[in-house]
Amino acid sequence: MNKPLRRIAIFCGLLVLALLVRDNWIQYVKADSLREDPDNRRVAIERYATPRGDIIVGGTPITGHATTTSGDFKYKRTYKNGAMWAPITGFVSQAYGATQLENLEDGILTGNDDRLFFRNTLDMVTGKQKEGGNVVTTLNAAAQKAAYDGLKGRGKGAVAAIEPSTGKILALASYPSYDPSTIAGGGESDAEAWKKLDKKNNPDDPMLNRALREVYPPGSTFKVLTAAAALENGLYDSADVPTKSPLPWIMPGTTLPLKNEGNIPCENATLRVALQYSCNSVFGKVGYDLGNDKMLAEAKKFGFTSEQFTPVRSSASVFSGDMAPSEVALSSIGQFNTAATPLQMAMVASAVANNGTLMKPYMVDELQAPSVDTIEKTEPEEMSRPLSAKNAQILQSMMETVVKDGTGKNAQISGVTVGGKTGTAQHGENNSKNPYAWFLSYAKIGDGSTPVAVAVVVEDDKAVRDDISGGGFAAPIAKSVMEAVIKSKK
């Protein structure tokens, strides 16, 4: 072969080699990124070419699907009582992507999860249409309805309810809410609905998951955690011994007394009486006596300062370090910059009700194949032990006094032992806005079990300021949720 031909042959060989390298690079190295590229419309078309699996509550699907009448997407998602369930399901939209369970469990719901490979291969051979699997939740439909209906008449707010012995989330309601069905497609009506839901156009922010993503000052409900810290650190070993709490109590480093609401018996009050009447001076001084480090350590045991994954992410609740003594006192009564999600405060009530053991909260019970065979089952998992069984039982007796003889009487249920704590948290600069109304509770039934712990927060902008209280606004909602769970156990 002459020299020019040899050069041409080598050059052509290099071109073929480059083509083979490029082809293999695209097929094997870049395959995943190309498949997940939002501009790859073929992937989106395939995603909506088959019916999506369902999210299930109590054996009943709360989702569905419908065929579209235009465009190249065959199916779109539908929701039953969508606004009520949106904090759990999130949405899946042909135009706007997916959130929450719809996003986190997308592989199962579309049928594309690797764990369904054998099933999908078999269906391909037999010619059967591919189907999505199901996500079975831990939610209690009656409890969710009670929570959502209770919030409807109160402006804005959220409810979280947990089964203390397992960590199963039984209710997770947020109001105002939105119907994910209205944005499931990709047409003009969906675009208009999306604009109306945008916070820029809707200050009520209906797409905000207040139960998981909003952190509120917890007010006096935080005193439950402060009481736990006092017992765990040996500051007091009983609910019924007098505390060293003068009245007035001047916050260290200031000339300001930590005031109580009204003329209540807080001077040297026992922990039981202090929780019953919600004495700021007692629990502020408890926090100061323990110090920042011990209060922060106890808060962390309950889950503060860490995000929770249920698997939907919940924002981290806040209790600070490096505070001045007066700031520790204010933080210990749920003010200053202490802030918590409703889920976090339900976790506090749950740990106390479960004799000091905090179970990791979760909302997915199992994942199912299209054949309804179980692919994955969630097992309850201990998260921490914020307090001993002995101290938890002392704190239970204190919370039960709150409901029997204190500020939580509106949560009483006939034939059921209820423990609780009210809270009215300051809101706005210099407390200029209406306060938040809180209530924590648990219900103990005749067989000694505690099937539910609840946290409720209400932010009612239209209420008369002096009428707002945790016992008046939030406790009746908690009561209805507890009653719904108890009834479902019978």
Task: Identify whether 337 is part of a domain.
Answer: yes
CA distances from 403 to 165, 219, 335, 422, 435 (A): 22, 17, 23, 9, 21
Domain assignment present for residue 445? The answer is: yes
Tell me how many degrees the CA angle 177-408-419 measures, rounded to the nearest 5. Answer: 90
User: In whole angstroms, what is the distance from residue 33 CA to residue 13 CA?
Assistant: 29
- Beta strands (DSSP E) in 356-416 are 358-359, 364-368, 374-377, 382-384
How far is Cα 32 from Cα 125, in angstroms, rounded to an integer? 24
Q: Is the dihedral of CA 14, 20, 26, 29 positive or negative?
A: negative
Sequence-ordered list of residues with C-beta below 8 angstroms from that of 89, at least 6 positions apart, any chain: 55, 62, 63, 79, 82, 100, 101, 102, 180
| CA–CA dist 170, 207 (Å, integer) | 21
What does the DSSP 8-state code read for residue 198? S
Structure tokens at 113: 């999860």
Which residue bears the tokens 């119907």? 179
350 belongs to a structural domain: yes
- Residue 432 CA neighbour count, 13 Å, CB half: 3
Give the domain CATH number at 273: 3.40.710.10
**16 found inside a domain:** no
Helices (H), 198-324: 223-232, 271-277, 280-290, 292-301
Between CA 204 and CA 465 the distance in angstroms is 20
The reply to whether 203 falls in a domain is no
User: Are 301 and 265 a contacting pair, CB within 8 Å?
Assistant: no
Decide if 86 is inside a domain. no
Whether 188 is in a domain gets the answer: no
Q: Catalytic site residues?
A: 220
Number of domains in the chain: 1
Q: Report the C-alpha gap between 87 and 13 in whole angstroms.
A: 59
CA distances from 263 to 221, 260, 455 (A): 20, 8, 28
Distance between CA atoms of 198 and 232, rounded to whole angstroms? 46
- Give the pLDDT of the chain (490 residues) as one tens digit per residue: 577 777 777 777 777 877 777 777 666 666 566 556 666 677 677 777 788 999 999 999 999 999 887 767 888 999 999 999 999 999 999 999 999 999 999 999 998 888 876 666 666 566 667 788 999 999 999 999 999 999 997 879 999 999 999 999 999 999 999 999 999 998 889 999 999 999 999 999 999 999 999 999 999 999 999 999 999 999 999 999 999 999 999 999 999 999 998 899 999 999 999 999 999 999 999 999 999 999 999 999 999 999 999 999 999 999 999 999 999 999 999 999 999 999 999 999 999 999 999 999 999 999 999 888 899 999 999 999 999 999 999 999 999 999 999 999 999 999 999 999 999 876 444 444 567 899 999 999 989 999 999 999 998 644 333 333 567 789 999 999 999 999 998 7
Domain of residue 459, residue span:
219-363+382-489
